[in-house]
């Protein structure tokens, strides 16, 4: 009788995005590849040219990145981020960068958990941006 192969375990995520205020969505560069741009255009029923003009820009040495909007916690955040609910509004169509981030661990989430425990406040949001600075 052949020996059973051990079941390969997929590493469990050690973070909960639903408890995060959207830190990774506040990065200044969220790259949008050609395939991502096409998927987002299709999501909104637009041509690629229309989506290019409305949702993306060339900056920081990249052909295409997400445009951003004002955010009370981080200063700026992805234009597709709902700043009231703290959620992505295009989750099914999100770019590949967003699909692959952060992996099994998220440094900001680990920090946020630590800060919330220290503050004894489950809703505490540690900001990286301050008014007037």
Running DSSP on this structure, what letter comes out for residue 11? Answer: P
Residue 95: both structure tokens together: 């770019």
Measure CA of the first residue to CA of the last residue in the chain; give whole Å: 69
Count of domains for the chain: 1
Cβ–Cβ < 8 Å for 18, 108: no
**Alpha carbon distance 20, 33 (integer Å):** 25
Contacts of 20 (CB under 8 A, 6+ apart): 86, 106, 108, 109, 112
For residue 70, tell me if it sits in a domain: yes
For residue 41, tell me if it sits in a domain: yes
pTM for this one? 0.77
86 lies in which domain range? 26-101
For residue 115, tell me if it sits in a domain: no
Q: What pLDDT was estimated at residue 116?
A: 83
Q: What pLDDT was estimated at residue 89?
A: 97
For residue 68, tell me if it sits in a domain: yes
For residue 31, tell me if it sits in a domain: yes
Running DSSP on this structure, what letter comes out for residue 111? Answer: H
For residue 15, tell me if it sits in a domain: no
Q: What pLDDT was estimated at residue 10?
A: 65
For residue 4, tell me if it sits in a domain: no
Q: What pLDDT was estimated at residue 105?
A: 82
Q: Which residues of the chain have pLDDT under 50?
A: 130-133
């Amino acid at each position: 009788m052949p020996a059973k192969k051990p079941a390969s375990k997929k590493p469990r995520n050690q973070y909960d995005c639903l408890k995060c205020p959207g830190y990774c969505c506040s990065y200044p560069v969220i790259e949008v590849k050609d395939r991502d741009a096409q998927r987002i255009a299709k999501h909104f029923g637009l041509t690629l040219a229309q989506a290019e003009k409305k949702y993306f820009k060339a900056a920081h040495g990249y052909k295409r990145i997400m445009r951003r909007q004002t955010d009370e916690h981080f200063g700026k955040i992805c234009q597709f981020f709902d700043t009231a609910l703290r959620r992505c509004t295009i989750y099914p169509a999100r770019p590949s960068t967003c699909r692959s981030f952060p992996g099994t661990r998220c440094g900001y989430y680990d920090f946020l958990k630590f800060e919330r425990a220290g503050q004894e406040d489950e809703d505490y949001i540690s900001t990286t941006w301050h008014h007037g600075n």
